[in-house]
Amino acid sequence: MNQLTLGTALIIGTLQSPLAVAGDDVQYRIMPYLWTAGMDVEIGRPGMTTHADVEFSDYLDFIDMGAAFVFEARGDQWLFATDVLWVQLGNDLEVPTGTVDVKIDELLIELIGGYRPNGWENVWIVGGIRYLELDTDIDFAVIGRRSSSQDFADPFIGLSWQPRRGNWEYLLEADIGGGIDADFSWSTTLAGAYHFNDRYAVSFGYRFVDIDFEDDEFVFDGSMDGVQIGLMITF
């Protein structure tokens, strides 16, 4: 399944899912955002990896292009969301053996469901599928070019605390996953949003994602983290 087909399927699934939330008044949100995601990973083929350590403060030096958004449908006790991030990164890295030219095309899609049990004020049980597709092109100065394309998907489960205080809304979320394709993964998000009115809000926060994946052809072991800024539209 290609990137466009998979992304379209996940978005359609999110749009249709509120039909199962009988009796709820469904609120929809869409938020385009920028995630200045640095990375600290070992990436490549087994026995032939490179260490890519990109601070998110250097993000603009590495990014070629990208796009990201969240779509959410929320009832009183149920929520469904799709989070899509696509980015192309590229730059030269200095390593002990010389210069390594690294290009990474990354697609991260999360399909998320949540349930708030009775009596759990502002606390949701969340879970879903995290899909990551990576196209890497690494040109080693000594041994030449190595390219790889890999994708993997794993379930995750966690908790999300989402209180609202006046015009301010907060988010603290953590989850763990893996065990199907990746050996292990976990992520955490800390964010706040200021609501100008019932429709528009600006959101900012910090997100960390760690994934440990290795098979016979590809290694991705490390983390991505950075500041996330978005415009939230409610309808």
Among 31-45, 97-111, 175-189, 197-211, which is the least confidently predicted range?
97-111
Radius of gyration of the chain (CA): 19
What does the alpha-carbon distance between residue 191 and residue 208 come to, in Å, rounded to a whole number? 12
Residue 78 has pLDDT above 90, yes or no: yes
Residue 50's pLDDT band, with cuts at 50, 70 and 90, is: confident
Whether the CB-CB separation of 31 and 81 falls below 8 Å is answered with: no
CATH value at residue 78 = 2.40.128.90
Long-range CB pairs of 208-216 (<8 Å, 24+ gap) are 209/108, 209/185, 210/185, 210/186, 211/132, 211/178, 211/182, 211/184, 211/185, 212/178, 212/182, 212/183, 212/184, 212/185, 213/150, 213/152, 213/181, 213/182, 213/183, 214/46, 214/183, 215/150, 216/46
Tell me how many domains the chain contains. Answer: 1
Question: If we measure between CA atoms, which residue out of 181, 169, 89, 87 comes closest to residue 131?
Answer: 181
Question: What pLDDT is stored for residue 213 in this prediction?
Answer: 86
76 or 16, greater pLDDT: 76
What does the alpha-carbon distance between residue 32 and residue 109 come to, in Å, rounded to a whole number? 14
What does the alpha-carbon distance between residue 235 and residue 233 come to, in Å, rounded to a whole number? 7
Domain span including residue 88 = 3-234
Angle CA 110–165–198, to nearest 5:
70
Residue 23's pLDDT band, with cuts at 50, 70 and 90, is: very low
What does the alpha-carbon distance between residue 61 and residue 153 come to, in Å, rounded to a whole number? 29
The position carrying tokens 């403060």 is 57
The position carrying tokens 């998110």 is 56
What the block records as the tokens of 132 is 């990551």
Question: What pLDDT is stored for residue 202 in this prediction?
Answer: 97
pTM (2 decimals)? Answer: 0.80
